[in-house]
Amino acid sequence: MTKRTFKSPKYLFWDKGEWQEAAETLANSNPEFVDLTGKEQVSQMIGWLSDQYPVEQEELDKAKTKV
């Protein structure tokens, strides 16, 4: 696993391109994705990103103090 570090409150641990990849993948695999609220979309994208690009628990714990 590649060690990921906190990037910013906006992007958390993933870069802009990875967020776009998550949105496109989820929209293509689930047509109802675009009808979800923004909060629901972000929640699903974080789940997808966490599966594709895992973050170590230590880094998650550190990030909680920054957000």
pLDDT digits (tens, 9 = 90+) for 5-60: 999 989 999 999 999 999 999 999 999 999 999 999 999 999 999 999 999 988 88
Distances from the Cα of 29 to the Cα of 18, 22, 25, 58, 59, angstroms: 16, 11, 6, 31, 29
Residue 67, pLDDT score: 62
pLDDT value, residue 3:
84
How is residue 13 written in tokens? Answer: 């641990």
Structure tokens, 37: 């609220």
